[in-house]
Structure 1
Amino acid sequence: MTNNTYKEIALKLHGYDKVLIFPHVNMDGDCLGSSAALCHALRGFGKEAYVLADDVTPRNLDFLESGVVTRDYDVFDEYDLAILVDCGSKSRIGERAAVFDRARENAVIDHHGVSENDTEFNFGIIEPSSAATAELIYLIASEMGAEVTLRIAQCIFAAISTDTGSFQHSNTTARTHKIVSEIYEVPGFDGNKIAQLLYNRKSLGAIQLEGRVISEMETFSGGRIIMSAVTQAHLIETGTLMNESDGIIQKLMSIDGVEIACVLKETDDKTVRASLRAKSYANVARVAKSFGGGGHIRAAGLTFEGTICEAKAEIAKALEAELVRSNDEK
């Protein structure tokens, strides 16, 4: 797909009346925040628009639903436009793909460089250099002439904050800070309030889960790689959901000397999802891609068919090889 400009996308969006927005499964802050912000912008122009989700929204992101999320697959009998947000393939939206296909036309707005290339789009943009998909949503909304309301500001800020690790990740740019500085000019916006909602509402069980997972971490390559796992047993013991483990990888990354962190998440006894992060020079997207996953150079993910033990052995081996390769490329 050839990328459209922000202005071209803005002009096209004005031409549709009924729009469904599709975030990826296992919604994160950028995914949900970007989707909600776009939906609010479209509604501001009188469009009928919804964000169609099917999984449980993580506790710390529940405020981002902001009255625009539906789980009704039949919210429209027929509709004009389906938009994939923060993902570039129908394979990332699960059973909602059938609803996506009902649209007259479709589009994509994403910042992930790796895509399965299995979905044809009428228009859109995939911009890997963007720190968050929310940056693209903000720039497109601006080209549309949308009013940046308080709700849009909150959604954009939350999306950028979470996808940049509170502006710590290497994907953070001058443009990132410029957009956020403009968000702070929106009447009533309170960045501290959003930060508290995002980062300081963990359940007691989530803290207990974090302790278990961190206490069971393993190191490889002289401490430069660190790995741990969240099992179904952990979730039962602590009374938590898998999405309450999302911040653990950042704790692992904060350890001095660690270049790569990996958290394995046991979906069932035959399926494991892996989150990968790199601090400064390793390319974890290459590792993810080798297992059929994808993402960014410093943040990626994959799904492994097998047990936790099998995943740990194979992924650790691949990460060690990547560390050697990345060192040679420095």
Structure 2
Amino acid sequence: MPYIDCFYVCEDIAHRGPLNIKKFDTLDTAIEVYKALPSGTVKALGVQNTAPLTGSLDFVQCHNGRDVFIQDYKHCTGWDNPEISRMIHELRNHLILQEERNIRFITPEYDDLFTLPDGAKLLLQYPDGSKKTVPCKAYPDGHHFTLGNGGVLHICQFAELCRKNGITYAPAHPLPADVVNTYEIYQIPRNSPCDYVFLNYEHTKNRVNAADYQLVYRGMLGSRLTLDNIFDLHNRPDRPLPAGMHSVSVSDIIILHQNGKDSAHYVDSIGFVKLPDTFCSALKSQQKTSPQKHISER
């Protein structure tokens, strides 16, 4: 039995909502349909197999007008076979394929967050709430890249710069599979007349009001960064953004944006108290940020 069942072309894999996918019996037809689509979208050409548990993989995707060869098949059981190799040879005869080169974005602890194709754009959000989209250029070693017109950055150096300055980062044009987790810290401003600053939750549970808080920090949330880790990080001598906020303490609120869900946590004298889900939306509706300095790459 042949391994390849059919070929498919997706009009734009970055499209939000149902994808427009057409299937074809021959590779030649799929290639012609793929080539006829505009190069301004993330179009894709792939294969569906005949395995008992049917699977499909993209082999070509268009990134920034360039047809990029996707090599995920090398990491999937059963896909690296003579029939697929012959198909790839035909693809190379019909399309000018660029070898896939990705930029890996991580936390300072080297937790993977997401990857961007070479030349794709990154969305930066600064502490004052402003945003900027910048193109990224990958280096062959897989560990360095350029951000806009700036110099070369190591992926961990970039993560540390962003953490230090309270900058979050995400794909400017995320794919459906891209889930970027972040956290926020809210504090009662120093000049606030609020009378429950630094008090534990037992004394404040009937008075905690979202309107009393100010957003002071945003950060990337890796798989190993727990509430306790966040508390420790923001109490170190070299803590992030020391000029824009005091060290995390009792009465502060930490918001976790994790896997599409938001949760609010009051910093208590021992541990944390989870606040009602409505508190997150209340904070967001009155969100205020303090102007901070940006890193030099901006």
TM-score normalised by length of structure 1: 0.26
TM-score (norm 2): 0.28
- Structure number with the higher strand fraction is 2
Of structures 1 and 2, the larger Rg is shown by: 2
